[in-house]
Structure 1
Amino acid sequence: MAIDVSSQLVEVQTQLAFQEDMLNALNERVVAQDLEIRNLRRTLELLHEQMKQKNASAEDGQIHEMERPPHY
């Protein structure tokens, strides 16, 4: 009976160690994804600001009207 309990304890410890390793790996991935999302949001904000500036300058008449393509 003592051998059975001892082997079960070893099995539980092994599973716990594996789960801790998996949890750490998942945590690292979540942190990396969070950083990537923050970078993407910042890029999106910058692009949005650039579009607003271009639209504002177009309304001020600084951008020429689009020319017709040569095939028209």
Structure 2
Amino acid sequence: MHSLSVRIGPISYRVGSAWAAPIATLRRLYAGYPAPEEGIATVTARIGPPRPWRRWIRPQVAIEGDHSLPD
């Protein structure tokens, strides 16, 4: 699992991904921002395939977080 932790204002974020490319892009985008103090994130998000076979059959991305959002 690839991940990035960044502090933006008073909020600390951790973004994890099954793929390296989204995290590399976020690292470049937020290069000037500090890491969270004590390494603890306030908000966590994950980027990955909704199901294992989706990687090869009609690829899709699922974005998940600490809380579920209604459809």
TM interval, shorter chain, is under 0.3
Q: Which has the larger radius of gyration?
A: 1
* The structure with more strand, counted as a fraction of residues: 2
Q: Give the TM-score normalised by the residue count of structure 2.
A: 0.21
More RCO (CA 8 Å, sep 6+)? 2
* The structure with more helix, counted as a fraction of residues: 1
Q: Give the TM-score normalised by the residue count of structure 1.
A: 0.20
